[in-house]
Amino acid sequence: MEERKIYPGELEDEDDHKPHNIIAGDEMPDEDQPMYSSEEYERCIATVQDDPHNIAMYQQMIDNYKHLGKSEMVLQLRMKAAQEAVPTLDMWKDWIESARAEATSFQERVKIGEVFELALDSFNYFEIAKEYGEHILELYGDPENDGSVEEGEVKRVLEKILRIWLLDFSRSAKIWQLYLTFESEIRIWPNTEETKKQKEKAIRWLYRKKLLFPTLDLDSVWDEYKEWETDNTQIQEMQQRYNKASEKMPNMIKFEDNLSILFKEINTTAGNLLQQAVDITTLLEYYAKELPSIAGNNFSYYELYIERLLCNY
């Protein structure tokens, strides 16, 4: 039997030479061990040099060093994993949760945004995007905010996550609503006639963007907009956008229904890698045939649906 490789962060029993995984609750190391050393880090990297894109190997070492309490080593390995491979959703969530737990000041909470940015540059996970939006709104409205988080930064983050997820048929509302809440309730607007007009313009712009695309909440957003809007001319112009989006709804619903069936078939065959590969090929063929009629010349639709596939498989 081939001897299993012992990853850095594991301990080896001197008597039987069996590896003891710290995660499993084996003996704990000397508490006086340094939190981080460049030599130890290099040993870790040497472990994955033959397969630097193997995210599972990074996960193993990160888990081991987390249990050892070596937070600096964990951070270095996370950074290396983000650079060389594509961390999973759970790995990003774990990193963000750790950063939140370790943040003891407002400025340290602001720096958590760097992890969110790394995550979304790696992959557009919906859960990460939504949490990032919630995080930036929380910082902006925090009494400790001394101006470090300004309106411009909030808008940059919200527009970043809105670019793709505004198109999502069933989940766009969860991202768009964050932006609407910011402009209508959280953003600090001076109490002047000029800024009142600016606020109305900002909110109207968000409705214009939302009513352009066929999504599950299209009708409810349209009703909400008509109730909010006081300018009949604007309502008439917006009606045209709503009508165009409504015309696309039947095709979008059909596309999404078929997509749900294909995704379900892939999940059903999860234990059969060969059959699952066939099912994924079928899904890609469906994309190639039907997605152009949905996306038109909007490349973000292609990015959205490919990332939905990759996020699950």
Judge contact between 172 and 163, C-beta under 8 A: no
DSSP string, 247-292: HHHHHHHHHHHHHHHHHHHHHHTTT-HHHHHHHHHHHHHHHHHHHH
Helix, strand and coil in the chain, % to nearest 5: 70, 0, 30
Half-sphere exposure of 1 (CA within 13 A, CB side): 3
pTM here? Answer: 0.82
The closest alpha carbon to 88, from 127, 137, 49, belongs to 127
Radius of gyration of the chain (CA): 24
Render pLDDT for 72-101 as a digit per residue (tens, 0 to 9).
888 988 998 999 888 999 999 999 999 999
Which amino acid is present at 115? Answer: V
pLDDT at 6: 45
Dist CA 246 CA 102 (whole Å): 47
Mean pLDDT (the chain, rounded): 85
Q: Is the pLDDT of residue 17 over 90?
A: no
Neighbours of 153 (CB within 10 A): 15
* Coil vs helix vs strand at 11: strand
> What is residue 39's predicted lDDT score, i.e. its pLDDT?
75
Beta strands in the chain (DSSP E): 11-12, 19-20
pLDDT surpasses 60 at 233: yes
How far is Cα 249 from Cα 219, in angstroms, rounded to an integer?
A: 11
**Residue 147 token pair:** 């101006």
Q: What does the pLDDT average to over 201-226?
A: 96
Amino acid of residue 70: K
What is the rounded average pLDDT of the residues 12-23? 37
Rounded Cα–Cα distance for residues 185 and 162 (Å): 19
What's the rounded Cα separation, in Å, for the pair 183 and 177?
10
Q: Which two tokens stand for residue 148?
A: 């470090």
Which of 39-43, 107-111, 180-184, 239-243 is predicted least confidently?
39-43
Residue 127, Ramachandran bin (φ over 0: left; ψ between -120 and 50: alpha; else beta) = alpha
